[in-house]
Chains A and B, each alone.
Chain A
């Protein structure tokens, strides 16, 4: 194989979880020893094992650069993206690789994420407008305006790549597959805090449920393992605060995004909507 990014640094033993639904009744572990080189990710290592030692090893991968969220697996007990985990940075001689917990295993390291997406779609993760035609217009004439602060209120949560690491780490999800899970609840909050969205009443009603945000007990493992810095734990606590304020009648009216004609000249846009790095020089 054409892996010559660096010279071999040390031998590392991989203990990999194996389960073949056609042959095995119980999972077992296979061991492989490979030469780790500087810059080698766990995903690279798995690819080398598959190429040189065991072609039956299975997992799921697509982009190999931390964008698609396919290759989340439990590496030395911590759910992480295999492509973002450096073998040498783990600094152990034996690396144990298991599939994500709380999901049924299809084969080896490939988990069945249906449950994740079921909860994800349940919280309606899309912009809801009272006037639905605004979203389906063939030739839109207006656009929404958002200030950088309004963007930052939800930007962090929109970085979620649905890899399932948070659900795998959550102690409640581990014992309760019906718990919505950190991923879905964080996405509910992401759309609730988006000024363009008008569906917060619907989403509040969905998450205010015995299996919804009240089953979160703030173990914060979701935030600890999230490879994209999404911080689901923080989102869920804000969700709870909103719901508590609502039940006390103290919730402030949500700010709605202003609309502007599409393609309006940028100097007509109010100044607060222009991010600092995009300040436009006024024509003389």
Chain B
């Protein structure tokens, strides 16, 4: 059942991202307007909804992307050992990037 649960999470993350990434692209790139200064982006992050939403977003995006990458790598690497290495490597990468992004989103909130 493990493999199926991972796939279901991939699906759920993808479904969430349809809305999260959609609004991210809309507000950041399609709505127009001048680029914000660093101070303005810090002010924006004072609203708790902002870092909260981005925490979920980054987690979903990293999981979704790395699961997809894992699927492609598994087409090339078949032995249980190499698949284990891939799993650990990608989980490690995902965790590091997630912690970095977590700090990025919450530092302005607490400043």
Q: Do chains A and B touch in the complex (CB under 8 A)?
A: yes
Are the C-beta atoms of A209 and B75 separated by less than 8 Å? no
Q: In the complex, which residue of chain B has the Cβ closest to the Cβ of A214?
A: B7
Contacts of A247 in B (CB 8 A): 1, 4-5, 8
Q: In the complex, which residue of chain A has the Cβ closest to the Cβ of B74?
A: A210
Asked if B76 is at the interface of the complex by the 8 Å CB criterion, the answer is yes
A126 to chain B, nearest CB (A): 24
A201 to chain B, nearest CB (A): 11
Mark out the residues of chain B between 56 and 107 whose CB falls within 8 Å of any chain A CB in the assembled complex.
Answer: 71, 74-76, 78, 83
Kindly state the separation between the CA atoms of A278 and B12 in the bound complex, as whole angstroms: 48
Q: In the complex, which residue of chain A has the Cβ closest to the Cβ of B83?
A: A210
Asked if A35 is at the interface of the complex by the 8 Å CB criterion, the answer is no
Kindly state the separation between the CA atoms of A81 and B4 in the bound complex, as whole angstroms: 35
Asked if B39 is at the interface of the complex by the 8 Å CB criterion, the answer is no
Are the C-beta atoms of B1 and A246 separated by less than 8 Å? yes
B70 to chain A, nearest CB (A): 9
Asked if B40 is at the interface of the complex by the 8 Å CB criterion, the answer is no
Are the C-beta atoms of B1 and A176 separated by less than 8 Å? no
Are the C-beta atoms of A176 and B3 separated by less than 8 Å? no
Count class of interface residues, chain B: 10 to 19
Q: How many residues of A contact B (CB 8 A)?
A: 19
Kindly state the separation between the CA atoms of A179 and B75 in the bound complex, as whole angstroms: 7
- Knowing A215-B71, A244-B8, say if A178 contacts B78 (CB, 8 Å): yes
Mark out the residues of chain A between 89 and 138 whose CB falls within 8 Å of any chain B CB in the assembled complex.
Answer: none
Are the C-beta atoms of B74 and A243 separated by less than 8 Å? no
Are the C-beta atoms of A208 and B4 separated by less than 8 Å? yes
Are the C-beta atoms of A210 and B3 separated by less than 8 Å? yes
Of the residues B3, B6, B76, contact of A212 by C-beta under 8 Å: B3
Kindly state the separation between the CA atoms of A175 and B74 in the bound complex, as whole angstroms: 10
A208-235, CB under 8 A of B: which get 1 and which 0?
1111101101000000000000000000
Mark out the residues of chain B between 31 and 75 whose CB falls within 8 Å of any chain A CB in the assembled complex.
Answer: 71, 74-75
- Knowing A176-B76, A244-B8, say if A214 contacts B1 (CB, 8 Å): no
Q: In the complex, which residue of chain A has the Cβ closest to the Cβ of B68?
A: A217
Interface residues in chain A, defined as those with a beta carbon under 8 Å from any beta carbon in chain B? 172, 175-176, 178-179, 208-212, 214-215, 217, 240, 243-244, 246-248
